[in-house]
Structure 1
Amino acid sequence: MTALDNKINEHFSGLVVRKDLVKIVKGNAIVPSYVLEYLLGQYCATADEESIKTGIDTVKDVLRQHYVHRNESGLIKSVIKEKGRHKVIDKVSVALNDKKDVYEAAFANLGIKQVLVDSDTVKKHPKLLVSGVWSIVDLEYEHFEDNSVSPWIINTLKPIQLSHFDYDHYISARKKFSTDEWIDLLIQSIGFNPEMLGKRSKLLQLVRLIPFCERNYNLIELGPKGTGKSHIFSEFSPHGILISGGEITVPKLFVNNSNGKIGLVGYWDTVAFDEFAGKKKRINNALVDIMKNYMANKSFSRGVEIIGAEAAMVFIGNTRHTLPYMLKHTDLFDELPEQYYDSAFLDRIHFYLPGWEVDIIRGEMFSDGYGFVVDYLAEILRSLRNNDYSDQYAQHFNLVSDISTRDKDGINKTFSGLMKILFPHKEATKKEIEEVLQFAIEGRKRVKDQLMKIDSTYAAVRFAYTCNDGNKTIHVKSLEEEEYPQYFSSSPDEESDLDKDEQGSEQPQTPDAVIEKPPELKERQVIVKENQRGVTYDKLFGQYLQDAKKITVTDSYIRIFYQIRNLMEFLETVAKFKPKDDEVEVHLITVEDEFKGPQQIEFFIKIQENCAIAGVQFTWEFDETQTLHARHIVTDHGWKVLLDRGLDIFQHYEMNDSFSLSNRLQQYRSCKAFEITYLKVEG
């Protein structure tokens, strides 16, 4: 167990579970994670290994005896008949039989229908009437002479969800964690290993939780396949429902005017539409019109009656093209069906989650640490829907007057939702509040930037805020605008930090493609944001290394394999930019690894041997004081490059996949946030 795991168990004893246990107990049971974690929370909410083992056996036994597999429904029915009574775990839905004036239940896996349900149960659990609820049901069997009477009798029905929680304890325990610890706890709670994600990537994952704690929140996420877009909405909470985008109808979603029955938005906190993208899909225009009205006004009509609802709307779908292709040739909404490719509909979206920034799910990304039993967190988030945190930035910042009411609503709702998730105790620092505000503004700006491409009647907007303590104005850009400014009409002439001072020259890619006369280099600073792509050592260092005869790299973190691989790629850049008939000395000053020193030296020797054939003479020394903190590169022709992260600028990527572009080409890797300063020095 990590120090964080110990702290989690100390302050949330009995409310957390080890996340890898879900896979262990699931087997071939096709049930949502919150169902399994409900059971694990009953028997495995502990850090004691023996208790966990016993609990796993108990949960497996419960599933074996009571979970209904479709192909074993006949056996379970026989067990109930022979025993007279048996508990089952199944998805139960209820419908009103108006001819008989009774409620009747249907069991999805068991395959039985028309089972009588008393009115009190339906009143207590109204979601039974819409799409069904996973439940533990005590079923009885009694045969009647009258064949029209069902022999199945529900003795008790208990939805699988938390019955109560202590909100005050949640708030007081939150105060025991730093912001970074709390974020890691939340990331582990949704099943991911926080060590595999950067800060921005973690926030993107947590945005998916906002619909569960913010009423009438409209979120869209479009991106590549395999990034886990639908996982949260299908597995995480008993208060959310995931439906296929092709299955949406007005009666199912809003109201059936023939019988007055309210649809999904009246019963669920979050309604998510999977597979929402697809240009050729046929969508009912009336549905789009009602949805636009609901997303704007939080209400819909049932005949002459206006019905209000609180359900958040989430739209998730896959994109076919890369980000730069979409920015150049189309727009970021281009994959949507024609009926939804409507500026009035898109303008009601509060946040566009950039799915292309989210990593494709890999096995090592899953957590084996402790996180909240998801049903517990789901209930906490649901209770937070009653609160409004959108005023938390007002004491420090103000949005500029250019921002329209609709833009401001989108920003405020995202800000409020993230603050509830990260700082429910309302004790964020000014810097933390500003970070959340910038993130919220960026998500709404992404929507507006594309609307201006789709509909020329939309005017350019300054997405900025002012600081109350000095009236300084800060402009916010999306990450894709920083990377590809040429595709944004608001800043067509701007250059990114990496492209400054490089215009008019081609980057050398091989030793033969050397620039004879390097451009005039200037002192400057480069700031790269988390998840930014298109960054390479060639761009960062190449021109500053050209014509150097000796280069000294000081970095205490060149110890383990991926760090040493970074060093090798840096030496490749040196080899590309040096004249073919010259030699360059590269000297590394680092720290010997306490445990893997011999392997570290072995790697250095291999690098030394292999780089010699390219005219790069590599040497190294270990700092014996073990106090080396500086990270920089110094050349013998007058440049010092300060590196706040050293050469460790890339996020985790699959190094063993020979067919991965991110493995072979740096420009396809996501970066960590970092800064580099170039200084001209004497001698």
Structure 2
Amino acid sequence: MTNLEDALSEIDVLAAADMTDTAPTKSALDDKINEHFAGAVVRKDLVKAVRGNAVVPSYVLEYLLGQYAASDDEATIQAGIDTVRQILATHYVNRNEHMLVKSKIRSKGRHRVIDRVTVTLNEKNDVHEAEFENLQVKGVIIDDVTVKQNPKLLVGGVWCICDIEYFHSDDQRVVPWILGSLKPIQVAGVDIDLYHEARKAFSTEEWVDLLTQSIGLNPEQFTDRGKLIALTRLIPFVERNYNVVELGPKGTGKSHTFSEFSPNGILISGGEVTVAKLFVNNASGRIGLVGYWDCIAFDEFAANRRADQNLVNVMKNYLANKSFSRGTSIFGAEASMAFIGNTTHTVPYMLKNSDLFDELPDAYRDPAWLDRIHHYIPGWEVAPIRSEMFSTGYGFVVDYLAEILRAKRSEDFSDKYKHYFTLDSSVSTRDQDAIRKTFSGLMKLVHPTGEATEDEVRVLLEFAIEGRKRVKDSILRIDATMRDTPVHFRYADVTGAWHEVSTLEESQYPPLYRRNWDAAPHSDVGSGGDEVAPVPGESAAAGPVGGDASDAAAPTRPADVPLAEGHRDFSAGQKGISYETLLLPYLRGASKITITDPYIRMPHQGRNLADLLSLLAAAKDDAEEIDVVLVTTEQPKAEFKQNQLLMLKAIKDASDAVGVRLSVRLDDTIHDRRIETNHGWRIDLGKGLDIWQKTSDNPFDFGRNRQEFRLIGSAFTVHYVKIPVTPELEATL
């Protein structure tokens, strides 16, 4: 039996993207970009074209493309692509070919390589030594001048183009590898004044699209809000000491910006960091990552359940004061921090049962630590990345933009809103600082000259307020003592009119969001307080069906849906049959469901599955979750297998987003078709979920959207069996 994720990992998902040899049609925006930023932009789809099996960050590839293919002339681009491919084929070191490259260096005496280089100080011999990650060579002597010019070699490592020489010695203590030259892969310098001047030629909408394309995303696939969320990930690169959290579903590109975008940022595992690595090593006195990087991102932060309390305390002081003490010394640094992780629950579930920081390790759910966070990016609003969401237009060479953002870190745009707006006086100093830093970062990105209209400023200010409000409201759920002083997240315009700012989830789930603050922080909605109004769209019939009718707490079921053991027969050509009447009454109230059907392969079969999952989502309470396991077989034909797996992944993404958490198991030994629930029902499906004839080609055929109008394909029987609810049943499901 194979999981869907394992099956997908065996397939190159990028092959599903529309990769053609013909160049994409240039837009008017692309022409304007090339006109004003010639030589500093590149067509974004070229990265995929040249990457091959080179496991390097995008900024390394775009650095090379910027050298040879930064043009809108197709002939120049193709020649540049060929050159970059040749450079990668000749000089990039594949880890599994390191011995071949070593042999080449030995035979030639000297060879140029592209590799990640890390430097350590050999205190015994008083020399710096370089280690090449993919070449798997260490102990290479590197001169102090080179290390001083590139201090990041000492912390985290840097991608470089190096000349390596080989000279064998009979002395076993001497490393035969000699570093001839080292050049970090980064832009030498940028003209910030030219950047500002060129910005004036673009409207705000065009500029936001340019930035969106620059980080590799297709702006046509995103709303204005979606673009703003994507750009917020860049604030740590342009704003000093900025602290941001993003929690959301898997596959939404949270870590991509921090791992691929900039040579000035580093992505580390949240579970691997230590005080010595992050801040300072007391033994050596050497400062850690915060002293060398503009942005430090902690990946899989929510998965780190064991946190070092000492690290939390030191980090808490740093996040608040930009400094930290170790031993008798106090150090300062400017590194911003981004904490990214996956959520396993839906937003209404978190709002009902805990708070939006529910996934963080307990040590980090300290209100004092959380209060240092300037902005909470709602990762659940970001759609899982699909092939059409990648940009094929022109954008900045990411290394060029990274240097621009670094140059603007010294500027402060935090008060640019004050000409038009005033924050409410109830907003605390720490809340105001958080809002201003987010606003400043967005202004530097979208309006780098600091000039913007009132409406343009309003959009950025409201977004900054919303992100901080999301942090503060979650803290109020955790710490009841902070509720004593009411805070109004609002602003006044020049007329004196007040404008309230709310989060999107606050508008979507008001009964869950505005639960009684007098209740215990982790109690159910409405407990210990006034009765809470039902969630919009929730019906009385959404609860368990077939329970004890005398149980006043159980919602009543429709009287015309008898839940009894037995069977139902259906004839070919019959109409009026839908999952809503055939299956849903027996599935309501279950929290775990297993669907076994060997034939979920074709698009219409995937549509049937999605229809059933959407019924489950509509029937449950918004704040509840259902676990669904699909057991099916893998498409035997290789040419169709990829489409099946991608279809199942797309259904999973859509289902997970609404609280029906789907997992897929691929088992080629199954033959039966059934549905089992953890509340005591088994439905034996004669023909599985695929029971209807193909609908007509008429795009307005009612059967396309309503199952009741479809014709049954061939006769089948459905058996409903009541089974004992036991711990063993729960375990098998």
Question: TM-score band (shorter)?
Answer: 0.7 to 0.9
- Partner residue in 2 for 1:410: 434
Work out which of the residue numbers 209, 218, 227 in structure 1 matches 2:243. Answer: 218
In the alignment, is residue 453 of structure 1 matched against residue 546 of structure 2?
no
- Partner residue in 2 for 1:607: 700
Moved over 4 A (4+): 490-496, 502-507, 509-513, 603-606, 608-616
- Partner residue in 2 for 1:73: 98
Offset, 1:609:
7.7
Amino acid at match of 2:29: L
Cα pair 2:505 2:513 within 8 Å, conserved: no
User: How far, CA to CA, are the matches of 2:103 and 2:97 in structure 1?
Assistant: 10
Any residues of structure 2 matched to 1:114-153 within 5 Å, and which? 114-153=139-178
- Partner residue in 1 for 2:203: 178
Amino acid at match of 1:462: H
Q: Which digits, 9 at most, give the CA deviation of each residue in 1:310-361, with x for residues without a partner? A: 1111101111111111111111111111111111111110000001001111
Offset, 1:503:
11
In the alignment, is residue 424 of structure 1 matched against residue 448 of structure 2?
yes
Offset, 1:470:
1.1
User: How far, CA to CA, are the matches of 1:609 and 1:141 in structure 2?
Assistant: 74
- Partner residue in 1 for 2:114: 89
In the alignment, is residue 442 of structure 1 matched against residue 535 of structure 2?
no
Amino acid at match of 1:36: L
Offset, 1:610:
6.8
SS of corresponding position for 1:177 = coil
User: How far, CA to CA, are the matches of 1:53 and 1:486 in structure 2?
Assistant: 57
Work out which of the residue numbers 377, 400, 404 in structure 2 matches 1:376. Answer: 400
User: How far, CA to CA, are the matches of 1:43 and 1:220 in structure 2?
Assistant: 37
- Partner residue in 2 for 1:27: 52
Change over 3 Å in CA distance of 1:101–1:612 after alignment to 2: closer
TM-score of the two chains, using structure 1 as the length reference: 0.73
SS of corresponding position for 1:402 = coil
SS of corresponding position for 2:482 = coil
Amino acid at match of 2:474: Q
In the alignment, is residue 462 of structure 1 matched against residue 488 of structure 2?
yes
Work out which of the residue numbers 364, 376, 382 in structure 2 matches 1:340. Answer: 364
Offset, 1:611:
10
Cα pair 1:485 1:495 within 8 Å, conserved: no
SS of corresponding position for 2:457 = helix
SS of corresponding position for 1:258 = coil
Offset, 1:145:
3.6
Amino acid at match of 1:419: M
Offset, 1:487:
2.1
Change over 3 Å in CA distance of 1:608–1:56 after alignment to 2: closer
User: How far, CA to CA, are the matches of 2:312 and 2:538 in structure 1?
Assistant: 47
User: How far, CA to CA, are the matches of 2:457 and 2:34 in structure 1?
Assistant: 28
Q: Which is further off, 70-79 or 99-108?
A: 70-79
In the alignment, is residue 158 of structure 1 matched against residue 251 of structure 2?
no
Cα pair 2:43 2:393 within 8 Å, conserved: yes
- Partner residue in 2 for 1:199: 224
Listed as ranges, the gaps of 5+ residues in structure 2 are 1-25, 517-525, 543-557, 561-575, 581-613, 619-695, 710-733
SS of corresponding position for 1:457 = helix
- Partner residue in 2 for 1:284: 308
Offset, 1:490:
7.8
Offset, 1:485:
1.2
Amino acid at match of 2:700: I
Change over 3 Å in CA distance of 1:436–1:375 after alignment to 2: same
- Partner residue in 1 for 2:297: 272
Offset, 1:489:
3.3
- Partner residue in 2 for 1:188: 213
Cα pair 1:217 1:350 within 8 Å, conserved: yes
Change over 3 Å in CA distance of 1:330–1:149 after alignment to 2: same
Change over 3 Å in CA distance of 1:478–1:117 after alignment to 2: same
CA RMSD of aligned residues (A): 2.9
Amino acid at match of 1:329: N
User: How far, CA to CA, are the matches of 2:474 and 2:329 in structure 1?
Assistant: 35
Amino acid at match of 2:233: R
Change over 3 Å in CA distance of 1:109–1:450 after alignment to 2: same
In the alignment, is residue 297 of structure 1 matched against residue 390 of structure 2?
no
Question: How many residues are aligned here?
Answer: 525
Offset, 1:33:
0.4
SS of corresponding position for 1:45 = coil
Change over 3 Å in CA distance of 1:375–1:612 after alignment to 2: closer
Offset, 1:31:
0.4
Amino acid at match of 1:409: D
- Percent identity, please: 60
- Partner residue in 2 for 1:365: 389
Offset, 1:504:
10
Cα pair 1:191 1:366 within 8 Å, conserved: yes
- Partner residue in 2 for 1:44: 69
Offset, 1:138:
1.2
User: How far, CA to CA, are the matches of 1:156 and 1:5 in structure 2?
Assistant: 38
SS of corresponding position for 2:85 = helix
In the alignment, is residue 247 of structure 1 matched against residue 247 of structure 2?
no
Listed as ranges, the gaps of 5+ residues in structure 1 are 514-533, 539-602, 617-683
SS of corresponding position for 2:267 = strand
Amino acid at match of 2:488: R
Cα pair 2:128 2:141 within 8 Å, conserved: yes
Q: Which digits, 9 at most, give the CA deviation of each residue in 1:499-552, with x for residues without a partner? A: 6xx999999x99999xxxxxxxxxxxxxxxxxxxx9xxx9xxxxxxxxxxxxxx
User: How far, CA to CA, are the matches of 2:317 and 2:167 in structure 1?
Assistant: 50
Amino acid at match of 2:80: G
Q: Which digits, 9 at most, give the CA deviation of each residue in 1:578-615, with x for residues without a partner? A: xxxxxxxxxxxxxxxxxxxxxxxxx9975278799999
TM-score of the two chains, using structure 2 as the length reference: 0.68
Cα pair 1:485 1:494 within 8 Å, conserved: no
Offset, 1:302:
2.7
Amino acid at match of 1:378: A
Cα pair 2:127 2:141 within 8 Å, conserved: yes
Cα pair 1:486 1:494 within 8 Å, conserved: no
Offset, 1:373:
0.4
SS of corresponding position for 1:301 = strand
Change over 3 Å in CA distance of 1:324–1:118 after alignment to 2: same
Change over 3 Å in CA distance of 1:608–1:100 after alignment to 2: closer
Cα pair 2:112 2:163 within 8 Å, conserved: yes
Amino acid at match of 2:328: V
